Amino acid sequence: MKFRKQLPTLNLNPVALADVLFRKDNRTSLFLSLDADKRVDMLRSVTKSVRRELLMKSPEEELVTILQSLDPDEATDMLQSITKNKREKVLALLSQELKDSLSTLLAFDPDTAAGLMTLDYIQADVSDNIESVAKKFMNHEKRTGRPPVILVLTDNRLSGFLPGHALGLAAKSELIGKFVKRLPSISYAARHREVIDLFQRHPHSKVAVLNDSGEVVGIIYSDDILQIIQSDQASSLYNFAGIRQEESVTDSAKSKVKNRYRWLIINLGTAFLASFTVSLFDKTISKYVLLAVYMPIVAGMGGNAATQTLAVQVRGISLRQIELKNAWGTLKNELGASLVNGLINGIIVAAVVIFVNHDVKIAIVLGFAMIINLLVAGLFGTMVPLIMKKLGKDPATSATIFITTATDILGFMAFLGLATLILA
């Protein structure tokens, strides 16, 4: 389950938030000194690691107070972040009704549709009248403090839902069947991607979750899906930078090293490959020292262009707009754009070399190398993430290394190879 009430913490003192984030020595005591409502705001604002620490170090009685003020789905998220032993102690102190609700939600896989749902719904038969449904509605709201979704059944099968306004506008004796609205449904075992696809195809505010027998077990709201999408976007951004999603600004130096060193070692290996490529042309470089001055421009421009293409491709893949089998149109457009951008930047850099160094040959070499490397960036920036996706790998995580390696090595080969041919 995801936090469904990620509201702006307008009543939360920024100084208090900063203290909890960075003053690890008395973080828990500062947290417990806040009012009950501000503790909830704090837990919604901090990172996952800080939230877990606060929950783990807080007394069980304090956690009970927090959980009782939350929706069951949000309370379940809190409980899932602490250890099983601590969770059982907290559950033992809860009211039986809340305990039953949370135990039900905790039993489901958090990465499925059931892991996103809430239990705030009531069921009514299509033959019920407005008055009887209104009583069920008020009883649920009185018991839980939250208005439920009214699900309508026909022969014990979901027909749709009854809009809340019907309870106030229709006559008490009218049957609810005439007011029923369509409601999409999905299996409790569906993965998050399937739930997102359903909301995109049917942009309703909610979806019913069904078990294997077709019975309703919960409701998913659209803001749950927004949280999933935001989480996926943040994850892609972290992966794109070679950083674990769990890392936060408050992590220790040791934790940051642990999260990043593997990526840096891999990048170091690709840097050696680029250096080896350059070493193949050491005689050319020693003869024309000016080449060394402009080498970083070739590599840097290729890397930047590839990053732009990769960002667009990863977004397209995540939105299901492109895959390997229909990539030809996108590839043509990217190569066309790369050629034009290469010509523009090639002419600019050649003009600078002629103006500053008065060397037409090196200007020609650098201009053509710029065009070639931007074409390489467009090709690899388009195809590598699609290939990684086809192989079952995360394109945001795995593609960057191969793309930067290609632009560095092929860029240097183009630049130094042309220099060897033209300047010799």
Q: Full-prediction pTM beyond 0.75?
A: no
Is residue 274 one of the residues assigned to a domain?
yes
For residues 42 and 127, membership in a common domain is answered with no
Full residue range of the structural domain in which residue 58 is found: 14-107
| Domain end position, chosen among 198, 231, 264 | 231
Q: Taking residues 216-233, what's their average pLDDT?
A: 73
Same structural domain for residues 313 and 414? yes
Residue 188 counted as domain residue: yes
Q: Are residues 261 and 371 in the same domain?
A: yes
**Cβ atoms 162, 181 nearer than 8 A:** yes
Q: How many domains does the chain have?
A: 3
Q: Is the pLDDT of residue 223 over 80?
A: no
Compute the C-alpha angle 283/366/403, nearest 5°: 90
Give the CATH number for residue 169. Answer: 3.10.580.10
At 21-69, the pLDDT tens digits run 555 667 788 888 888 778 888 887 777 777 888 889 888 898 888 888 8
DSSP, res 139: H
- Domain of residue 411, CATH code: 1.10.357.20
The pLDDT value recorded for residue 1 is 45
- The residue among 85, 107, 129 that closes a domain is 107
| pLDDT reading at 343 higher than 90 | yes
Q: Give the distance, in angstroms, between the CA of residue 263 and the centroid of all CA atoms in the same chain.
A: 20
Whether residues 272 and 409 fall in one domain: yes
Sheet holding 157-162, edge to edge: 121-125, 149-154, 157-162
Q: Please state whether beta strands 149-154 and 157-162 pair in parallel, antiparallel, or not at all (unpaired).
A: antiparallel
* Whether the Cβ atoms of residue 395 and residue 317 lie closer than 8 Å to each other: yes
DSSP 22: H
Report whether 116 contacts 3 (CB < 8 A): no
Whether residue 43 is contained in a domain is answered as: yes
* Residue at 30 is within a domain: yes
**Is residue 242 in some structural domain?**
no
CA distance readout (Å), 343 to 80, 264, 352, 415:
55, 33, 14, 15
Q: What is the CATH number of the domain that holds 55?
A: 1.25.60.10
Same domain? For 293 and 353 the reply is yes
Which residues lie below 8 Å from residue 89, measured CB to CB, with a gap of 6+?
60
What distance in Å separates the CA atoms of residue 96 and residue 78, rounded to the nearest whole number?
18
Residue 19 and residue 85 in one domain: yes
